[in-house]
A = this chain, B = another copy of it.
Amino acid sequence: MKAEQAYPLPIALDAMGGDYGVEPNVAGAVAAARAGVAVLLVGREPQIHAELAKHAGSSSLPVRVIDTPDVIGMDEHARDVRSRRDASINVCTRLVKEGRAAAAVTMGHSGAAMASALLTLGRLGGVERPAMLTHLPAKNGFVTLLDVGANADVKPGYLAQWALLASVYLQVVEDRRDPTVGLLSIGEEDHKGSQLVLDAHALLRGLHGQGVNFYGNVEGRDIFQGTTDIVVTDGFTGNVVLKLAEGEAKVLLGWVKEALGSSLKAKAGGLLVRGALKGLAKRLNPSTYGASLLLGVNGLTFIGHGSSDEQAVKNSLLRAARAHESDLMGRLTAATAAAAAQRPG
């Protein structure tokens, strides 16, 4: 076994979370550990050990198990995190709070995960509401979208704060210099949009050059075009966008496959293009982008799809490790403190 000292702090993974339970979680953890990330598997020890045993050589990897029998199921209530103190998601966020884990990662109940993070870790100083930040494929790579569902009803000030936090995130974790921020609206003109957008636009204009490189309004079509690095919106619209984008990609790829089977000629061609299309399918697969970051709580928390597979779990753990190594929390804290100091009054 490698010396544990080589791995500064492990990532706590809610090992039972998600639609498929322990299997993809353990497989993803093993894959991440092979890539050098230490993992704490938080969940039912017997099941986790049985899964670990399927992976040859896993006993020499930096993977440890924390036996946690209680798990909040996908169909239970988010508010259960209050009464079930030792539920696996609460153990994960507590490990972060206590400095024993670098980040909490879960593919389980997203409402419960948000509630647990808020309850245990609290909000980052000066942040009114945390937001879920995620990535979507776009021309020239990916686009960063938030909020994708933490807040269905928002105030203009939330959007301005999220723009600042997301800008720090992209610079620190993804090495994008001076990322551009677009405000999602229904017309590029400044005077178009809902009242929320009009008010948020004014606030974002005020932040331009002070930690936010504000591009202006963007439209639905700009998301896949990658017009801006970041697209900021309320959690209702953002969640609809995320699920529409994923759903459309799935249906369209299905139609492409259907078209390739529509005639003998197309079938022959389909065999030749199969490899090329596989790369595209990978690019459109949410697993490629891993879990969403809960931005604005006082500790790293990543929340993924319930349907996450091994690859999604692995990529989420790698991103969590990268966020920790680049001191994302320290940089976010500094940025919000600087913004608070600049505020008049």
Contact = CB atoms under 8 A, between A and B. Distances in A.
Contacts of A249: 248, 252
A109 to B, nearest CB: 12
A284 B219 contact: no
Copies of this protein in the complex: 2
Contacts of A275: 263, 265-266
Interface string A244-274: 1111111111011001101101101111110
A259 B241 contact: no
Nearest to A274: B269
Given A152-B193, A194-B236, A241-B240, A248 B224 contact: yes
Interface size class on chain A is 35 or more
A203 B251 CA distance: 31
A102 interface: no
A276 interface: yes
A259 B284 contact: no
Closest 5 A/B residue pairs (Cβ): A269-B272, A220-B243, A221-B247, A220-B244, A269-B273
Given A219-B243, A241-B244, A266-B272, 15 more contacts: A186-B235, A186-B236, A186-B240, A193-B236, A220-B244, A220-B245, A223-B244, A248-B248, A252-B252, A252-B253, A256-B280, A262-B279, A266-B273, A266-B276, A268-B269
A262 B247 CA distance: 26
A210 to B, nearest CB: 27
A250 B224 CA distance: 9
A90 interface: no
B195 A221 contact: no
21 contacts: A139-B251, A152-B192, A184-B240, A219-B239, A220-B239, A220-B241, A220-B244, A224-B250, A240-B240, A240-B241, A241-B241, A252-B252, A252-B284, A259-B276, A259-B277, A262-B279, A268-B272, A269-B269, A269-B270, A269-B272, A270-B272
A225 interface: yes
